Structure 1
Amino acid sequence: MTENGRHDPHFDKDALFFEVIRPEQQTLPLVFNSPHSGRGYSAAFLAASRLDANEIRRSEDLYVDELFSMAPAFGAPLQRAFFPRAFLDVNREPFELDPRMFSGALPAHINVTSMRVAGGLGTIPRIVAENMPIYAAPIDAEEGLARIENIYRPYHRSLKQLMQETRRLFGRAVLIDCHSMPGSVSVGGHRRKPDIIIGDRFSTSASSEIAYAAMSILERMGFATAYNKPYAGGFITEHYGRPAADCHALQIEVSRRLYADEQNYTKKPEFIALKQALTLFMREFAAFLAGEADSVGLAAE
């Protein structure tokens, strides 16, 4: 079962901003989210950009929504964006905006001091990866604010609702925020290249048991993992992770070298095997959460 986001006059008139794919019955305290895998580049957006249709995709989390598309089959909802990250980044505060990008007045409450704004990666990004400017001219301020009102806010209302529903159903909620990273990312003194990075905002957005369980399952499956470096999680992980209230949020970053050609944005033959492996990960992680719940129930008896 799917639910669709609203329409917006500043995007294609028939565009759907996002989708929630629900299981027939939610049986797991899990919510999956893919905020950066949108591939809907409108003609109007491309016309406003100085980048061509290939260059503008460099910030896209390639096919991540497809890698985790089996989540509803296991009893967990999946929310995925259709709009591209280069157009609007919902993994930011709502008003992390660079006033130099806009013509017209912006509200006084915008966050201009954010490090992400300074780096060109605010709520409405100035650049895509490798410091490539997106726009050929300033954006009308009203249009930029309309993106926040008509896309950003409905997206987060939907995600908040999914977390609240899950918390009511199971007494806890665990958000898995799904992303991909460049294949060149390396960590540690030997600059090893991890396959998957798990982030929990340095143990503040999820219990350590949940984060370590995710890493342990992945490592047993043969993946090289890293923890919080260089990706600890963004606004979504920070905002929705409240371990004290038994609401947890993990960010998972999958290396694109495992499944995609990063130059032409196509899937490698290995995509199918990786999707199968991540499906197994979801099953094992769900079993861990079920075991935790059983342990809590036994301890309470």
Structure 2
Amino acid sequence: MITKPPFEVIAPAEQRIPFVFNSPHSGRDYPASFLAASRLDERTIRRSEDTFVDELFSSVVPLGAPLMRAHFPRAWLDVNREPYELDPRMFDGELPPYANVRSLRVAGGLGTIARVVSENVEIYADQIPVAEALARIETVYKPYHDRLRALMAETHQHFGFVVLVDCHSMPSSIRTAPLRVRADFVIGDRYGASCAPELSEGAYSFLTDAGYSVARNKPYAGGFITEHYGRPLRGLHALQIEVNRGLYMNERNFQKNIDFETVARDLARLVAFLSSIPDTGLFPVPEAAE
């Protein structure tokens, strides 16, 4: 069993900006039963974890925005997927007929219940019961999204619009091509579909001006959360930010490096900049339906 609440919202004393921050993959509380069912050692199983991302963005709380973070690990349950993206080969028993068993993410081993970490490193020694997978979805996945939707609805009601920033990290290089080093940041807006362009363009410009290498939408355009929650015409904006882990941590021993605080400060400056954009009138409150 998970030893602490599976997720939490760190809320400011008063929400002063129309932003909600979400760190769905930074959880580091690995259930003992999950580790026992895995074929991997405790270090290898952490390869898909967004280590310290919740801490990198912790400055958003004193700036006046809530930060939602998972405590459960992505390898155990991925809330940045549809609720039932499941690979039937993984499970002992029949999946429900509404399960999406043919998505590209399932084919890649990265469904709601992941089959692999990193580049095709198998997690489980044997099949797991279907009932176990469905229990994770019912008891953790659905409450997680219920809370995230509530945060967005409360913010939207208070300010007239809301910006969800989905916070992630990525390996510094591609394991199958060690000479290919990724950008420092990748800004994802589903190719312009999930948020006002001023947000993604503003993030790109700010980070570039700060001296970082920045890419947009490649290789990460935003997952289920960005796609599902971003409805700009309704005043619901969603932006994904991927941070290169090599900027702030040692990827071999999972320790922060000497630049962690610098990256955290630059992200605080980025958030302050983004939160000033609505003041320019770029985000008019959507008119109520007649």
The TM-score normalised by the length of structure 2 is 0.94
Match of 1:221 in 2: 210
Deviation of 1:191 after TM superposition, in Å, equals 6.1
1:269-288 matches, within 5 Å, as: 269-288=258-277
In 2 relative to 1, CA 101–269 (structure 1 residues): closer, same or farther, beyond 3 Å?
A: same
Aligned ranges 1:59-78 → 2 under 5 Å: 59-78=48-67
Q: Over residues 66-97 of structure 1, what are the superposed CA-to-partner deviations in whole Å (9 max), with x where a residue is unaligned?
A: 00011110110000000000000000000000
Q: CA separation in 1, counterparts of 2:262 and 2:198?
A: 28
**Residue number in structure 2 paired with 1:8:** none
How many angstroms does 1:185 deviate by? 5.3
Deviations 1:232-273 (A, max 9, x none): 000000000001101100000000110111111111011111
The C-alpha deviation readout for 1:199-241, integer Å capped at 9, x for no partner, is 0011111111221111111112222111100100000000000
Runs (5+) with no aligned partner, structure 1: 1-10
Aligned to 2:19: 30
CA contact (8 A) 1:185 1:194 kept: no
Contact 2:248 2:259 in 1 (8 A): yes
How many Å separate the matches in 2 of 1:71 and 1:292?
A: 22
Residues 282-301 of structure 1: per-residue CA shift (max 9 Å, x gap)? 111112233336x859xxxx
Kindly, what percent of the aligned residue pairs are identical?
55
Separation in 2 of the partners of 1:54 and 1:192? 22
User: Structure 1 50/78 Cα, relative in aligned 2: closer, same or farther at 3 Å?
Assistant: same
Distance 1:110 1:296 in 2: 39
Match of 1:89 among 75, 78, 82: 78
Backbone CA RMSD of aligned residues: 1.7
Contact 1:34 1:179 in 2 (8 A): yes
Task: Tell me which amino acid in the other structure corresponds to 2:20.
Answer: V
More off after superposition, 226-235 vs 202-211: 202-211
- Runs of 4 or more, structure 1, over 3 Å off, are 190-193
Name 1:130's counterpart in structure 2: 119
- Pairwise CA distance, 1:15: 2.6
Q: 1:233 to 1:152 in 2, by over 3 A?
A: same
Distance in 2, Cα, partners of 1:296 & 1:226: 28
Match of residue 111 from structure 1: 100
CA contact (8 A) 1:173 1:246 kept: yes
The aligned residue for residue 235 of structure 2 is 246
Q: Is the 8 A contact 1:88 1:125 kept in 2?
A: yes
Q: CA–CA distance in 1 between the matches of 2:97 and 2:197?
A: 38
The residue that corresponds to 1:206 in the other structure is: 195
Q: Which runs of 5+ in 2 are unaligned?
A: 286-290
* Counterpart-to-counterpart distance in 1, 2:275 and 2:21: 12
Q: Equivalent residue of 1:211, what SS?
A: helix
1:234 to 223, 226, 237: 223
Are 1:217 and 1:285, in contact at CA under 8 Å, matched by a contact in 2? no
Cα distance in 2 between the residues matched to 1:58 and 1:211: 28
SS for the counterpart of 2:47 is helix
* Offset from partner CA, 1:176-206 (integer Å, 9 cap, x none): 00000111159xxx96641111000111111
d(CA) in 1 for partners of 2:281, 2:23: 26
